[in-house]
């Protein structure tokens, strides 16, 4: 039941809330005779749906010492059993659509569950290790400084022109990925891999966090007020930096070629300015992803949750030579795009309209999924979004130019 930051939620809450979603949006509306597991749960595990019921303050979720975990697990069984009963009754298409939404919602929480555990373990003075496996044996760290660091970062050129963005096809998408529409792109280039920890350390060594000329005004204020001097999980003792991961504490010296993560939009933007580049727009990113799908030589397998690595991995030489490495997985990529509705966007009707639409203010879009995103969850038009000062996600940096 640990909640180590107001942004995170306790593991127990994630388990209950994902069941609550099915109960609230599927069972109570579509399964006649559905019996609530507990009359308090409809408001207790509501996250932010104002039109459904009141809900407890988010930052106080860890104060729920009751219900205990056993009761939460029984709640999940109760809901699972009811969903199966509904599926056996040939439910109407809207019920099936809501179940699919509930599955995708739960996949989002699978990622958040691990993100929040990492934060909880980081703040625990004992620094527990979530996955006790040798990172080096899996090629996630390097013992000596890799020659790739000294090599100039390569860029892949795109023609631009009139392109279509937004979801197409039959598969699942959220309302914020629609409607598909045209955008105009000037010619641009994307870096062939993500910015590494080694490169980010060079930015720091060059006074990156002390030089306001690289920062947006709000970003510089965030640096000052939060005392930022490194990414969230970097700590230093006597000048040697370490990075806390789900595999425990790793020395920065062994992460030279590993993508940097847990940086805010402000840090990503400042790094890009320092490097003489910029961040891509979300449409440049998506057009590049659709290019990759059409040109099989450019498809890169992603380091997603299913790989079991639970941490970003260095890009291979081969991946970078073939096109854009790490476009899917490893780290969510901050884009330069504010999170807005597409032309003609209509939020869902009813309480589900609160899922995405009401957050279209003060947030930036991230693309591509991370090492904690389930493989079935991510696709090229998928739009993640967070406030620009957010750092506890696996959020990283891909440079763009042009």
- Residue 327 contacts residue 390 (beta carbons within 8 Å): no
Binding segment toward Fe ion, per CB under 5 A, in 46-54, 327-335, 339-347, 353-361: 46-54
User: For residue 154, what are the CA distances in angstroms to 195, 206, 366, 371?
Assistant: 11, 22, 22, 23
CB of 270 to Fe ion, least distance (A): 31
Binding residues for Fe ion, rule CB under 5 A, total 1
* Closer CB to Fe ion, 22 or 283, in the complex: 22
* Closer CB to Fe ion, 9 or 335, in the complex: 9
In this structure, the strands spanning 395-396 and 332-338 are parallel
Binding segment toward Fe ion, per CB under 5 A, in 47-55, 167-175, 186-194, 378-386: 47-55
* Closer CB to Fe ion, 29 or 138, in the complex: 29
* Closer CB to Fe ion, 263 or 372, in the complex: 372
* Closer CB to Fe ion, 58 or 133, in the complex: 58
Reading the block at residue 180, the tokens are 């598909």
CB of 299 to Fe ion, least distance (A): 31
Angle between the N-to-C axes of helices 93-123 and 11-22, in degrees from 0 to 180, rounded to the nearest 10: 170
Quote the Cα angle for 35-39-42, to 5°.
95
C-alpha 100 chain-centroid distance: 20
Cα torsion angle, 227, 228, 229, 234, sign: positive
* Closer CB to Fe ion, 16 or 260, in the complex: 16
CB of 47 to Fe ion, least distance (A): 5
Binding segment toward Fe ion, per CB under 5 A, in 31-39, 41-49, 139-147, 150-158: 41-49
CB of 1 to Fe ion, least distance (A): 18
Assess whether the previous peptide bond of 165 is cis (omega < 30° from 0): no
d(CA 21, CA 25) in angstroms, rounded, equals 6
Q: CB-hemisphere CA count at 13 Å for 366? A: 33
CB of 20 to Fe ion, least distance (A): 9
Binding segment toward Fe ion, per CB under 5 A, in 43-51, 71-79, 275-283, 350-358: 43-51
Residues found near Fe ion in the complex (CB under 5 A): 47
């Amino acid at each position: 039941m640990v909640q180590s930051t107001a942004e995170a939620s306790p593991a127990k809450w994630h388990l209950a809330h994902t069941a609550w979603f099915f109960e609230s949006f599927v069972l109570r509306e579509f399964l006649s005779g559905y019996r609530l597991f507990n009359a308090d749960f409809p408001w207790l595990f509501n996250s932010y749906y104002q039109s459904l019921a009141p809900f407890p303050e988010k930052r106080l979720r860890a104060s729920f010492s009751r219900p205990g975990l056993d009761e939460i697990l029984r709640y999940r069984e109760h809901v699972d059993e009811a969903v199966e009963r509904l599926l056996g009754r040939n439910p109407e298409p809207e019920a099936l659509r809501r179940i699919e939404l509930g599955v995708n919602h739960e996949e989002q929480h699978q990622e958040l569950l691990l993100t929040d555990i990492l934060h909880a373990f980081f703040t625990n003075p004992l620094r527990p290790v979530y996955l006790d496996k040798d990172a080096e044996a899996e090629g996630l760290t390097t013992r000596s400084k890799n020659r790739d660091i000294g090599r100039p970062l390569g860029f892949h050129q795109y023609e631009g022109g009139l392109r279509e963005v937004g979801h197409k096809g039959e598969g699942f998408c959220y309302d914020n990925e629609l409607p598909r529409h045209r955008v105009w792109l000037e010619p641009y280039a994307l870096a062939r891999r993500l910015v590494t920890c080694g490169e980010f350390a060079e930015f720091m060594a060059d006074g990156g966090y002390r030089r306001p000329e690289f920062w947006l005004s709000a970003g510089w204020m965030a640096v000052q007020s939060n005392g930022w001097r490194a990414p969230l999980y970097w700590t230093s003792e006597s000048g040697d930096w370490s990075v806390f991961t789900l595999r425990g504490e790793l020395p920065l010296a062994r992460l030279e070629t590993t993508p940097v993560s847990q940086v805010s939009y402000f840090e990503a933007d400042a790094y890009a300015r320092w490097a003489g580049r910029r961040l891509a727009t979300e449409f440049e990113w998506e057009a590049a992803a659709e290019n990759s799908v059409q040109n099989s030589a450019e498809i890169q397998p992603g380091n997603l949750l299913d790989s079991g690595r639970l941490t970003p991995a260095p890009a291979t030489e081969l991946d970078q030579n073939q096109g854009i490495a790490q476009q899917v997985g490893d780290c969510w990529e901050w884009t330069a795009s504010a999170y807005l509705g597409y032309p003609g966007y209509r939020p869902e009707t009813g309480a589900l309209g609160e899922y995405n639409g009401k957050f279209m203010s003060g947030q930036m879009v991230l693309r591509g999924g991370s090492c904690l995103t389930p493989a079935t969850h991510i696709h090229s038009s998928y739009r993640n979004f967070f406030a620009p000062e957010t750092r506890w996600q696996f959020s990283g940096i891909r440079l763009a130019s042009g």
